[in-house]
Amino acid sequence: MEVQITNENFASLKGGNLPLVVDFWATWCGPCRMVGPIISELAEKYDGKIVVGKCDVEECDDLAAEYGIRNIPTILFFKNGEVVDKLVGAVSKQMFEERFEALL
């Protein structure tokens, strides 16, 4: 299950016991709409092992700025509160799955 990332819940999710994957996206972004269903599917598959969140860059522009998000979609992978990996743009489901597996 995906969670909506907000300015209020980000710190607690990032510092939680499970790894965190954050999809930085926007409603008007075509590649984001392509990646969205893949991220949703992987969120279901890894439920209970990895927290998957969606962060709308227009609603949380300060988070996007903090992490230097200049292109979307950008997916950040957090482990122990630190960014350990990053994917930018629409990539294959296989590439996303490999990165999810690497977090475990």
Task: Provide the CB-side half-sphere exposure for 24 (13 A, CA).
Answer: 25
Distance between CA atoms of residues 12 and 89, nearest Å: 26
Residue 80 has φ and ψ, to the nearest 5°, of: 55, 35
**SS3 label, residue 99:** helix
Which H or E run includes 33? helix 30-45
Q: Which entry of 3, 29, 88, 103 is annotated as an active-site residue?
A: 29
Q: Judge whether 55 counts as a catalytic residue.
A: no
Q: Which entry of 5, 32, 42, 64 is annotated as an active-site residue?
A: 32
Q: Judge whether 29 counts as a catalytic residue.
A: yes
- What's 15's DSSP letter? T
Catalytically annotated residues = 29, 32
